[in-house]
Structure 1
Amino acid sequence: MQQHSGQHLISAVLDMREIPTLAWALGETVSYVELPRKLTDAEIVEVEDQCNEYIRQGLDITVEVPNKEDVNTTKLPDDYDTERGILRVVHIGNLDNNPCCGTHLSNTREMNSIVLLHQQAIRGTNSRLHFLIGDRVRRFAREANAQMRATASHLSCMPDEIGARVEALEKKLRAATKSEKALVEDMAAADAEAADAELAAAGKAYIYRRRGGFEYFNAVQRKLSPFKGFLVLASGTPGAPGELMVLANESATPTTEVADKIKAVVSGVQGGAGTPKRWQGKVPEWHESQIDELAALMKAL
């Protein structure tokens, strides 16, 4: 009843601003009203403050069963049978009156308080404005406080310092990511240079990195010189998933033929889409023996 009566109050205050409620839903934890547009932050604060002022005023909420001829049926659902059904009109003081079949509080003070939360874009320009009312506001405050204190503990700071601490961590992360990208590029260049030498000498090359993946393989490929032969790239640690790639030129053994030999020593390879010049697949879980057998296979090819 707190959520339902509160929804009536929120919609009434929005109606004053010529913002109609297109739809609404009362959820188990959070409810919402759907509006034709997104509200500004200032509008949300103003609507919330106005709703809470009406709560403090203690407006009576009453239910009337009027003559059907006196009811504005444009506010009724299309499938409502006005001939057979009972029409009930819910009044919030002199502020609002709406046909409604639900149960309601007897006074706005019983709502205790209203908090308007986030908005969610839906169906073009429409927006869902989420809200909490009454007892749910207190539960939300307790849970939010607990989460905030837990977050502050993880960040080793006071709750009011969380924003600044997160901003500092974001700055460090951006710097670390930039440095990592540069190191990966340098490592890929070094691996490509070593592979170029092996390809020129033996017509084949093998690169294994515990951490790499397709993004790293692609970085190596971009830095390779034109070559003859084939290159096998592998990444992953024992007990974890991994990746495989085979690169070849047109005159070399097709990548799929090399891949078939790899599959014989690395069981369970998934994917494996390929062309004569490029093949790639995923390893569900590397075993130490498979890594050793793959290295031995590359020597034997």
Structure 2
Amino acid sequence: MTKFMQSTRKKMETHGVTKTAMVGGLACQRNSFLFDGFKTVVVSCEPKKDKKGKAEGYDIELQDTILFPEGGGQPSDSGLLRIVKGNGDSSTINKSVQVPHISRSGLHAKHHVKEPIEPGTTVEIVVDAVKRMGYMQQHTGQHLLSAIIERKYQLKTISWSMGGLITEKKSTLEPNDYFNYIEINRKLTEGQITEISDEINQFITKSPQEITVVERISSGVDEVDTSKIPDDYDLSKGILRTIQIGVIDSNPCCGTHLESTSQIGSILILPNQTTVRGSNSKVYFMCGKRVADYANSANKTLSNSKSLLSCSESQVPEKIEMQGKKLQQSNKREQYWIKKLAHIASEELRSSLKASGKRRAYFMEEEFGTLELLLQIFKGISTHLNGEFEAYEIILCGYERQTNTGSLLILSESGEKISSLASKLGSMLQNLKGGGGKKGGKWQGKITSISNAELAALTDYLTHEFIAH
């Protein structure tokens, strides 16, 4: 037994901490609006290791918690554990430990932290109330939406997912990230979406419904559908919670929920849906504060588009369509002139090869030298190479000044020559990578960035060793 485990056991024995609240009966589930001021005791603190055995944090279990562990389609809460001085009724806080994530392990809630807290320590929990409220609005909104769709159209919810979440790696959300979805087994019409939206808004504004939680122990689960309860949730020891929305809905769920449908605030359901798994459909929606956040995000995008296009909001689609047509025309013109230039360049290369005793020639474009241009030149000259020249070495080089990138093709009948040229050019251009042409033909490479010195060295090498097209 390690010293850490011995310390854990000693603390637990000293403080008489032998029983913890199980998932289903956590303080956060019994009072979802309890956001701070909740004191409890650390029961265990276990080091957590990565696949290489290196410590990457600790899993803390508390005697009870107001931080909800991820489950039921609802993401984990986040918050703080404030270490209370003296481990008693003191209101003095020694320090605070961040809790970015809480997970469920069977019937136990595990708080993932970066530093250990000794078992027996009294902590005061603070919940990120804004995040929790947002999650509850989405989750309760989903229950109400699913209930109305099932009641009106006999369509059961197959699955659901909460929208995108802000994480350490993703600090902002895209507009589409605000949407949750439910999956049902057919598409809804626009008229049906409108009817559903109107009915939900009635329950938010005119006829709010009380939301209550019924707790059952194992002996009372026969009358409840438990098919969606996770396999590792032991109902013989745990609590089955049923969320009741007035007389509209009654469904088992472990998540935290609002106290009234009025607290959902608002709902937005998109008429456009996504077909999945045959004829199933994803219905996209959002509730509460997310509706306002989405409106602000969409308005920012619309305002930027309006400014860039120099038009009114209503003209944005028309202007974008017009810009799209102009872009298509520009692309067609570009393709035309690329082919014209490539034809001229390939004919000049052909002449240069004939004039060169060593059969060495090159082409270089230093402004708009795209790979597409080089490939068109290769296409134009390749029809002449094997028929007119027994041996040859051609370098096609393109540099795009605006992006400071380049493309490079090496052409030869010999794989050995291609390898030698690729090695030589690689010694000049640090960021050149490519491959091909082991048996002759074409070697293709990309230069991710080029310094002025490298460009000068490349130009000097080509002009001295090869004949320009």
Q: TM-score with structure 1 length normalisation?
A: 0.85
- Paired with 2:433 and 2:362, the residues of 1 have a C-alpha distance of 20
Q: Equivalent residue for 2:144?
A: 9
Map 1:130-149 to 2 at 5 A: 130-149=284-303
Map 1:29-68 to 2 at 5 A: 29-65=178-214, 68=220
Work out whether residues 272 and 282 of structure 1, in 8 Å CA contact, stay in contact via their aligned partners in 2. no
Deviation of residue 36 (structure 1)? Answer: 3.9
Work out whether residues 266 and 294 of structure 1, in 8 Å CA contact, stay in contact via their aligned partners in 2. no
Q: Equivalent residue for 2:225?
A: 73
Kindly tell me: are residues 236 and 89 of structure 1, through their superposed partners in 2, closer, same or farther at Cα, counting changes over 3 Å?
Answer: same
Gaps of 5+ in 1: none
Q: Equivalent residue for 1:293?
A: 460
Work out whether residues 187 and 273 of structure 2, in 8 Å CA contact, stay in contact via their aligned partners in 1. yes
- Compare 101-110 and 143-152 and name the one that shifted more: 101-110
- Compare 182-191 and 96-105 and name the one that shifted more: 96-105
- Paired with 2:340 and 2:281, the residues of 1 have a C-alpha distance of 48
Among all aligned residue pairs of Structure 1 and Structure 2, give the percentage whose two residues are the same amino acid: 31
- Paired with 1:260 and 1:31, the residues of 2 have a C-alpha distance of 53
Higher relative contact order (CA 8 A, sep 6+): 1
Map 1:91-110 to 2 at 5 A: 91-110=244-263
- Compare 112-121 and 207-216 and name the one that shifted more: 112-121
Work out whether residues 243 and 281 of structure 1, in 8 Å CA contact, stay in contact via their aligned partners in 2. yes
Deviation of residue 115 (structure 1)? Answer: 0.7
Kindly tell me: are residues 297 and 123 of structure 1, through their superposed partners in 2, closer, same or farther at Cα, counting changes over 3 Å?
Answer: farther
Work out whether residues 409 and 442 of structure 2, in 8 Å CA contact, stay in contact via their aligned partners in 1. yes
Q: Equivalent residue for 1:19?
A: 155
Work out whether residues 75 and 99 of structure 1, in 8 Å CA contact, stay in contact via their aligned partners in 2. no
1:175 aligns with 2:311: no
Higher percent of residues as helix? 1
**Given residue 294 of structure 2, which amino acid in structure 1 is its aligned partner?**
F
**Given residue 26 of structure 1, which amino acid in structure 2 is its aligned partner?**
M
Kindly tell me: are residues 45 and 231 of structure 1, through their superposed partners in 2, closer, same or farther at Cα, counting changes over 3 Å?
Answer: farther
Work out whether residues 212 and 245 of structure 2, in 8 Å CA contact, stay in contact via their aligned partners in 1. no
Work out whether residues 119 and 127 of structure 1, in 8 Å CA contact, stay in contact via their aligned partners in 2. yes
1:116 aligns with 2:269: yes
- Paired with 2:243 and 2:333, the residues of 1 have a C-alpha distance of 63
User: What secondary structure is seen at the aligned counterpart in 2 of 1:270?
Assistant: strand
- Paired with 1:141 and 1:284, the residues of 2 have a C-alpha distance of 39
- Paired with 2:353 and 2:267, the residues of 1 have a C-alpha distance of 71
- Paired with 1:64 and 1:268, the residues of 2 have a C-alpha distance of 63
Work out whether residues 160 and 181 of structure 2, in 8 Å CA contact, stay in contact via their aligned partners in 1. yes
1:186 corresponds to which of 327, 340, 350 = 340
1:195 aligns with 2:349: yes
Deviation of residue 269 (structure 1)? Answer: 2.7
User: What secondary structure is seen at the aligned counterpart in 1 of 2:145?
Assistant: helix
Q: Equivalent residue for 2:103?
A: none
Q: TM-score with structure 2 length normalisation?
A: 0.57
**Given residue 116 of structure 1, which amino acid in structure 2 is its aligned partner?**
I
Q: CA RMSD in A?
A: 3.0
Kindly tell me: are residues 77 and 192 of structure 1, through their superposed partners in 2, closer, same or farther at Cα, counting changes over 3 Å?
Answer: same
Kindly tell me: are residues 77 and 249 of structure 1, through their superposed partners in 2, closer, same or farther at Cα, counting changes over 3 Å?
Answer: same
Q: Render the CA deviation track for 1:93-149: whole Å, top value 9, x for unaligned.
A: 322221233333233222221112465565665554332111221222122212211
Q: How many residues align?
A: 300
- Paired with 1:139 and 1:70, the residues of 2 have a C-alpha distance of 42
1:166 aligns with 2:166: no
